[in-house]
Each structure stands twice: as C-alpha cells, then as structure tokens.
Chains A and B, each alone.
Chain A
C-alpha cells in the first residue's frame, strides 16, 4: 500500500536510486501485462528476405524464357 511515509521515503532517494526504483516498477508492470509475443512461442519467418543472388538468378531465368518464347 502506498502510504505517505513510503512516498516520503521515495522522495529521499538519490537520483540513481529513484531511477532504479522506477525501473523495478516498470518491470513489474511489464511482467503483469499479457505478452503480445509470448516468449515461449515460435514464430516462423518464411519470407526469403535478403536473397539478392537468388532474385538475380530467377530474373535471368525469366528473361531467358521470354527471349525464347
């Protein structure tokens, strides 16, 4: 429970201690939230991203086919 005495104690803390207390409370709040991305879940990323070489080869294949036909 947040009493007046606790608030007074918090105000007496140094700058570093206040930041630490704030971070502790923020971590508590984050842990209480329903996680948007549960840490235990697996997320497949099928997108072939960063495949410039494959993309160039496929483009060449398509151009070759178009020249032929």
Chain B
C-alpha cells in the first residue's frame, strides 16, 4: 500500500493582491503525449475538476474537438466549458485519468474537485499545520 505524500499549503495572491494559504498540489498533466507541470487547487467544495483555457491549449488540446458541453456554477457560470480527459501524475504515484471541465477563461486556478480527483485520491487537510496529504485510493 502506498504511503501518503504530504504537501505544504502555499501562499497564493488573489486579484486584489492579498495573499492566503491554500492547498496547492504540484502535478504533471498530459494529453496525447504532451506534458506540462502545473499547480492545482485541491478543492473539496468543487463538484468537478476545472482546467483553465490556456493550460489546455498549452497541452495541445483543440477546443473544437471537445464535444461534451458542460455548464458550471459560481464565478464560472458565465464561461463556456467542455469536457476533456487528461492523464495526471502526482509525485511517484501511478498515473490516473482525470476528467476536467475545460473552461474558456484564464481567470481561474486549475481546480481538482470531487469528480473525479477525490474519487481517485484520498485527501486529508491539516490546516493548523499548513499541510495536506494525498494518497491514491486504489479503487478508481
């Protein structure tokens, strides 16, 4: 059984320039052979994973090829979004397929939500210690 990986909360600046500690997870995303390092917000309140537009473009994805149109809520409600499947590698853990709502905006962080990041990984938040842990759940 894999040992969990621990990560520190990172200080992230908001649009007003104020910083806050957030659980940001470094990972490698790939799509059809193209890979990019990224840092994602681990967001247990998000129903789905969300991919910012330019990161998808940087991975070589074509917007017009993605035919699954999805509607998002909150600050994302005004943006068009389409489903896309990427491969993600966290640390030394085996790669997993993550499905994202690829949103046509870059005013958002890369978000890892319930569907399906939290289905692939068990996550523990230890805010008082500025740390969180990630472990593959093995069930998929």
Contact = CB atoms under 8 A, between A and B. Distances in A.
Contact of B45 (A49, A57, A58, A60): A49
Interface in B96-113: 97, 99-101, 108-109, 111, 113
B82 to A, nearest CB: 10
Contacts of A65: 85, 97, 99
A53 to B, nearest CB: 6
Interface string A44-69: 11111111111101111110011000
Contact of B114 (A46, A55, A61): A55
A45 B74 contact: yes
Interface residues of A, number: 22
User: Contact size class for B?
Assistant: 35 or more
Interface string A25-43: 0000000000000000110
Given A49-B73, A65-B85, A58 B99 contact: yes
Interface string B64-99: 000011111111100001010100000000000101
22 contacts: A44-B15, A47-B74, A47-B111, A48-B74, A48-B101, A48-B111, A48-B113, A49-B47, A51-B47, A51-B48, A51-B72, A54-B47, A54-B70, A54-B71, A54-B72, A54-B101, A58-B68, A58-B100, A59-B99, A62-B97, A62-B99, A62-B116
Given A58-B49, A66-B97, 11 more contacts: A44-B14, A44-B75, A46-B50, A51-B71, A55-B47, A57-B68, A57-B69, A58-B83, A58-B99, A58-B101, A62-B99
Interface of A: 41-42, 44-55, 57-62, 65-66
